[in-house]
């Protein structure tokens, strides 16, 4: 899925409070305005700690260009601030006050204002102020926005009461969630995304006199109060003040039940009255309003009772609280009925608008207001990569999702949300979770039982935070390591991918779906249907991507054998949802050319649903329907008719629901198709037990990041290590050796965990809890002398062995495509570290990466070479094999090329001459099989017996012995004559053809 780690601008511009753009004069008794920026040159363009204006953005192209420009029409003085921008991610500018001087006190004023030269472009511009903390870059952020819908200069006045606490990002995780205004550090402007534009701004100043409504607020303890019929709702009303000071003046709250769908006198007893908080009332004081409901015998949908509040002397609540009488007596609520009957009953009662809502998924940070969940009957929310609550804790996740679920209780049928995340190698958005190796490392383990365990740990940690749906596993068969998503694949062989699909049972439990309602299971998603791993290099049309989201050109036979095979297995394993690929499929000979997968009804409806019998639902990828040809209505129509049941429209949920309803009403999408989509979605919600238990079950939260969970990740990290070369038995290390450690990835948890870790793209450095490889080594050999020099600049004499840990820095999706700022070469610093250490002593080189790196030119100087992949948070697992606590047993899940020019290169190719073949992996087992041709012949006979009798375990053990025997003879002399049959043997093993596998290994042995 396409995500942004922190799409600040997109989040802000769609999810902020409205404000009034006015140009009125201040009152006569107001204090004089206080200038902040006159833009006459008194404030330089600079960075902290110097006071100054500076720009920022998501990449090098996104910061705007600023200058001070003399203009005759300047509202104040001679100069104004002008700028140009063309932003794809997020970008803007900031004025931070000097961090080495006291913060400013804005509390005497009503708000902040400035002059803006309107372009009448209809774009929202975010304006942010910085409160408290150590300085402007370690403060608490409060934000709002205005719409540029006029021409020429206009003064924008923003009362401080219009600012809301930023929920998508806080630089220090938030401070006190109170806009104090006594320690202010400046402001920031976030400019519009996706358009080229220019702006002019002048005279930023504080205006007006502060009143109590700025310092005091009335809030209710909830926005929605569900109660069973006949019960009484208790609405708690509180008054709070900035700085927790008592109120200076009385605050009154007049309340009245009015409107809604419940009938006064029949469904509830109406109430009205006034609450008074006298002058001197302590901040946080609470009074309660009781709303009694009445009981009747009729079965009914939920009914709402708005409680209108009129506040004097303080800021009123942002929305009117609603008491909701729960739906009752309807068949779909009866958990004793079969799921299909519950679904049929509910669908028969729903309006088209409610059905459209169930087919809609929005990004949680893109909601204009939480009330949109009920207003649009939304069926699903998601957290994109890096879209997390503040603070990023299990408790905050559960609280956030529960608050969203509560909103669904204000809808007629109280259909719960299904909340989704990309937990692709553990609960990777959550700080402190257990991060597994990425899938390429799991494929290297060749251990289906371990794959299932990693899925079970992930499911447990995800569900414990209130999330019931995981957009994983990726079942792509990666055929070209230039692809930026290749680490999301278990490998290049469909048989290997199929063997690792035990992870589905780890996530979901039994294939019949009976375990989905357990508090440690989640709905899994097979992605990306179909062929995303086979895209042709250079075929992508997405921005600067080279291969991701490109075109897969295959014969129908290749499509079936390579790319569709894993989905047959997934359907058999009961996969609950499937996500189509961004990529296009071009089936050679069908005359259609490349067609985007979200438009391929023949594949989604025809193959997946009809032929394979998939009974779950299909969820689109992030904004993927926008890549279809035609206007937006055709995007919606084409994708829905192709078989996509739910649309991931992160920021466009309003447009999607409106368009879908219009298309159905116009007869261009059938109601039958809508009912099918909604039935599939509701089926999984019922199976997950969400109707009975919509809120987070956090009983398992104590196990998040626990020793038991990390032990599974540690085992996975250890088993994923592939020993490619081991001349002279350098590995395993001995605990009494003096070890020199170097390289960029030896002590970097972020590089070790890779992309899709805490944020979409991941990041170098320490951003969660875990153990680096260096830390793991020091724990494994606490009494040994282990010296670390990242760049190998420390003296190298006097050491027994060197360990150089090199490789890639994090990336995700097409951002990581080779040719898009990336290649398969080690960095210059890593090459220098390898050369310096391996030139001075015996050395082992570990490559921490999401794909093979080109290492052949240095292979002769390297004694031991290890493919470490992206091992996750548990560097102890890597240390376990380095020091012999566990043997190296991993095997290559992909072919390791000699050069980029060889790509794509895969097992089964007619021309196959890699650096290391698919399936290669030396071992440090104490007993390596001995023998020669005669031994292989005997193993071949035993393999035939195992195959005939269906003895899978015996067959695998026999082929493994033969493989190790062949590797021992081959050593580092891997020729094309050896590589081809060797790689074929591993594929044959995975398909249960043990005798043929030994026969091919015998060919490799003879060629060595």
Are the beta carbons of 599 and 628 closer than 8 angstroms?
yes
Burial class (CB in 10 A: 0-12, 13-18, 19+), 612: middle
> From residue 542, how far is each of 255, 627, 987 by CA, in Å?
54, 9, 34
Residues 6+ apart with CB under 8 A from 611: none
Half-sphere exposure of 357 (CA within 13 A, CB side): 22
Token readout for 397 is: 């996740």
Q: Which helix (H) or strand (E) holds 726?
A: strand 722-726
**The one catalytic residue among 131, 168, 447, 621:** 621
> Which residue carries 């068949």 as its tokens?
331
**DSSP states of 382-440 as a string?**
EE-TT---SS-SHHHHHHHHHHHHHHHTTSSS-PPPEEEE--SSSSTTSTTS-PPPPHH
- H or E element that contains 528: strand 525-529
Look-up: residue for tokens 């001197």? 280
813 carries an active-site annotation: yes
Helices (H), 695-827: 707-720, 749-753, 773-780
Q: Is 621 in the active site?
A: yes
Closest CA to 872 of 461, 442, 456: 442
Phi, psi angle pair for 412, to nearest 5°: -55, -45
Q: Which helix (H) or strand (E) holds 629?
A: none
> Among 430, 374, 382, 386, which Cα is nearest to 260's?
374
Rounded to whole angstroms, the Cα distance separating 713 from 611 reads 37
The backbone region for 901, taken as left when phi is positive above 0, alpha when psi lies in -120 to 50, beta otherwise, is alpha
Catalytic residue among 128, 813, 817, 874: 813
Provide the sign of the torsion angle of the four alpha carbons 106, 109, 114, 118, taken in this order. Answer: positive
Q: What is the largest CA-CA distance in the chain?
A: 105
Contact of 741 with 787, CB cutoff 8 Å? yes
* Burial zone of 687 (CB within 10 Å; 0-12 exposed, 13-18 middle, 19+ buried): buried
Q: Are 181 and 242 in contact (CB under 8 A)?
A: yes
Q: Are the beta carbons of 309 and 320 closer than 8 angstroms?
A: yes
Per-residue DSSP letters for 789-801?
A: ETTS-S--TT-SE
Contacts of 121 by beta carbon, 8 Å cutoff, 6+ apart: 148, 192, 195, 197
Cα distances (angstroms) measured from residue 442 to each of 307, 455, 894: 54, 11, 12
Tokens, residue 452: 């299932």
Other Cβ atoms within 10 Å of 832 Cβ, number? 15
Close Cβ partners of 581 (under 8 Å, ≥ 6 residues apart): 527, 528, 529, 530, 531, 532, 549, 597, 621
In a 3-state reduction of DSSP, which class is residue 223? coil
Count of H helices and E strands in the chain? Answer: 25, 37
Distance between CA atoms of residues 365 and 382, nearest Å: 9
Residue with tokens 């803006």: 116
Q: In terms of C-beta density within 10 A (0-12 exposed, 13-18 middle, 19 or more buried), how is residue 869 classed?
A: buried
Helix intervals (H) in 204-254: 212-215
The residues that are catalytic are 621, 813
């Amino acid at each position: 899925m396409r995500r942004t780690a922190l799409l600040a601008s997109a989040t802000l511009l769609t999810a902020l409070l409205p404000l009034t753009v006015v140009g009125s004069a201040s009152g006569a008794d107001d204090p004089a305005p206080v200038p902040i920026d006159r833009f006459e040159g008194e404030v330089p363009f600079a960075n902290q700690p110097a006071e100054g204006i500076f720009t920022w953005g998501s990449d090098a192209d996104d910061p705007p260009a600023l200058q001070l420009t003399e203009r005759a029409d300047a509202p104040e003085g001679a100069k104004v601030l002008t700028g140009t921008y063309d932003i794809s991610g997020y970008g803007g500018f900031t004025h931070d006050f000097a961090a080495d001087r006291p913060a400013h006190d804005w509390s005497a004023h009503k708000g902040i204002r400035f002059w803006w030269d309107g372009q009448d472009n209809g774009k929202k511009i975010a304006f942010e102020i910085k409160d408290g903390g150590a300085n402007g870059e370690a403060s608490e952020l409060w934000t709002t926005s205005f719409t540029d819908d006029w021409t020429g200069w206009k003064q924008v006045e923003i009362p401080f009461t219009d600012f809301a606490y930023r929920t998508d990002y806080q630089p220090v995780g938030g401070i006190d969630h109170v806009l104090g205004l006594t320690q202010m550090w400046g402001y920031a402007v976030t400019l519009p995304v996706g358009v080229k534009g220019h702006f002019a701004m002048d005279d930023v100043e504080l205006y007006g006199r502060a009143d109590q409504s700025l310092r005091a607020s009335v809030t209710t303890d909830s926005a929605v109060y569900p109660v069973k019929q006949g019960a009484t709702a208790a609405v708690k009303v509180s008054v709070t003040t900035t700085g927790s000071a008592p109120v200076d003046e009385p605050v009154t709250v007049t309340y009245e039940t009015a409107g809604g769908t419940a009938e006064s006198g029949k469904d509830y007893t109406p109430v009205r009255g006034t609450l008074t908080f006298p002058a001197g009332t302590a901040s946080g004081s609470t009074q309660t309003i009781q709303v009694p409901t009445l009981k009747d015998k009729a079965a009914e949908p939920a009914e709402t009772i708005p409680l209108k509040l009129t506040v004097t002397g303080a800021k009123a609540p942002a929305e009117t609280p609603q008491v909701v009488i729960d739906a009752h007596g309807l068949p779909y609520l009866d958990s004793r009925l079969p799921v299909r009957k519950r679904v049929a009953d509910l669908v028969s009662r729903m309006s088209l608008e409610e059905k459209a809502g169930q087919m809609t998924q929005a990004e949680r940070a893109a909601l204009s207001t939480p009330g949109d969940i009920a207003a649009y009957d939304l069926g699903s929310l998601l957290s994109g990569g890096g879209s997390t609550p503040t603070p990023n804790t299990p408790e905050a996740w559960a609280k956030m999702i529960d608050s969203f679920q509560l909103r669904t209780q204000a809808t007629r049928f109280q259909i719960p949300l299904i909340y989704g995340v990309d937990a692709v190698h553990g609960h990777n958005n959550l700080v402190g979770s257990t991060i597994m190796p990425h899938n390429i490392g799991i494929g290297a383990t060749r251990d289906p039982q371990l794959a299932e365990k990693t899925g079970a740990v992930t499911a447990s940690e995800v569900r414990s935070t209130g999330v019931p749906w995981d957009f994983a596993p990726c079942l792509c068969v990666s055929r070209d390591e230039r692809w930026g998503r290749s680490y999301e694949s278990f490998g290049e062989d469909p048989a290997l991918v199929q063997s690792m699909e035990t992870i589905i049972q780890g996530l979901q439990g039994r294939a019949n779906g009976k375990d989905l309602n357990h508090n440690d299971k989640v709905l899994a998603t097979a992605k990306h249907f179909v062929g995303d791993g086979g895209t042709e290099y250079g075929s992508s049309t997405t921005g600067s991507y080279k291969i991701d989201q490109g075109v897969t050109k295959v014969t129908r036979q290749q499509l079936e054998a390579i790319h569709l095979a894993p989905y047959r297995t997934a359907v058999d394993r009961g996969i609950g949802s499937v996500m189509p690929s961004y990529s296009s499929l071009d089936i050679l000979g069908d005359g259609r050319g490349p067609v985007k997968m979200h438009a391929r009804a023949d594949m989604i409806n025809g193959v997946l649903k009809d032929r394979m019998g998939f009974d779950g639902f299909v969820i689109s990828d992030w904004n993927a329907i926008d890549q279809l040809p035609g206007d937006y209505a055709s995007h919606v129509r084409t994708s829905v008719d192709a078989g996509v049941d739910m649309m991931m429209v992160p920021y466009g949920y309003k447009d999607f629901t409106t368009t879908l309803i219009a298309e159905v009403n116009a007869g261009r999408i059938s109601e039958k198709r809508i009912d099918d989509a909604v039935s599939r979605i509701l089926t999984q919600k019922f199976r997950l037990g969400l109707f009975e238990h919509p809120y987070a079950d956090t009983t398992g939260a104590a196990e998040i990041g626990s020793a038991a969970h990390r032990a599974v990740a540690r085992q996975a990290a250890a088993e994923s290590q592939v020993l490619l070369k081991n001349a002279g038995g350098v590995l395993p290390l001995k605990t009494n050796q003096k070890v020199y450690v170097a390289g960029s990835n030896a002590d970097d948890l972020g590089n070790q965990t890779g992309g899709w870790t805490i944020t979409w793209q991941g990041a170098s450095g320490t951003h969660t809890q875990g153990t680096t490889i260096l830390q793991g080594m020091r724990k494994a050999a606490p009494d040994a002398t282990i010296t670390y020099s990242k760049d190998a600049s420390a003296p190298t004499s006097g050491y027994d062995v060197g360990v150089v840990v090199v490789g890639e820095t994090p990336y995700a999706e097409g951002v990581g495509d080779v040719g898009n700022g990336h290649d398969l070469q080690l960095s210059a610093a890593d090459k220098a570290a390898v050369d310096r250490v391996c030139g001075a002593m015996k050395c082992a080189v570990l490559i921490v990466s999401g794909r093979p790196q080109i290492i052949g030119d240095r292979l002769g100087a390297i004694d031991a070479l290890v493919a470490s992949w992206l091992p996750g948070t548990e560097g102890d697992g890597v240390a376990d094999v380095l020091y012999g606590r566990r043997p190296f047993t991993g095997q290559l899940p992909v072919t390791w090329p000699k050069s980029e020019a060889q790509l794509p290169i895969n097992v089964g190719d007619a021309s196959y001459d890699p650096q290391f073949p698919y399936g290669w992996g030396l071992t440090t087992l104490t007993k390596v099989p001995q023998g020669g041709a005669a031994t292989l012949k005997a193993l071949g006979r035993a393999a035939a017996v195992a195959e005939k009798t269906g003895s899978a375990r015996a067959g695998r053990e026999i082929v493994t012995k033969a493989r190790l025997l062949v590797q021992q003879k081959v050593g580092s002399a891997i020729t094309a004559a050896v590589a081809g049959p060797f790689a074929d043997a591993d594929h044959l093993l995975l398909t249960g053809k043990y005798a043929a596998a030994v026969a091919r290994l015998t060919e490799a042995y003879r060629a060595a």
